[in-house]
Amino acid sequence: MSSLDEEPTPAGKLTLQTLTMPAATNPNGDVFAGWLMSQMDLAGAILAQQIAKGRVTTVAVGSMAFLRPVPVGATVSCYSEATETGRSSIRTMVEVWLTDVESGECNKVTEGEFVYVAIDDKGRTRPIG
């Protein structure tokens, strides 16, 4: 995970933005990490599909560390950046930022590496392009 800058800004392209809801929270009102990871996977897949010009599937997820809890009602923004494109695979870095509803302050929550492979209609690996 990259270090926190004095004035950090999101890296990559905004690919998914959503609002945290009570159904995705623990008893303390914070969002479950699994829910957040699923949003990150969706965001990375959106970018990978654009690059592959078609269907992709997730084949790997790198390690992640969560920097702060995500409260219910926060706007979660996922920024995705392709870091490597192979013959059939796309490696992406996905950052999650949240915006506090009251203050408007943006804070980085986590980042993770997601790897996708382009597949055909039968689920077999295909070349990108």
Flag whether 47 is in a domain. yes
Q: What is the CATH number of the domain that holds 85?
A: 3.10.129.10
Determine the pLDDT at residue 105: 84
Count: domains in the chain: 1
Angle at alpha carbon of residue 21, lines to 15 and 27, rounded to 5°: 130
Write down the number of H helices and E strands in the chain.
Answer: 1, 5
- Its domain, for residue 21, covers 13-118
Is 69 inside any structural domain?
Answer: yes
Domain assignment of residue 105, yes or no: yes
Q: Provide the pLDDT for residue 8.
A: 79
The yes-or-no verdict on residue 121 having pLDDT over 90 is yes
In this structure, is residue 3 part of a structural domain?
no
Name the DSSP letter for residue 97. Answer: E
* Tokens encoding 95: 């950052």
Residue 4 has what pLDDT?
Answer: 52
Above 90 in pLDDT, residue 129?
A: no
37 phi, psi to nearest 5 deg: -60, -40
- With a cut of 70, say whether residue 68 has pLDDT above it: yes
Which one has a higher pLDDT value, 2 or 32?
Answer: 32
Nearest to 100 by CA among 25, 20, 28: 20
The model's confidence at residue 82, banded by pLDDT at 50, 70 and 90, is very high
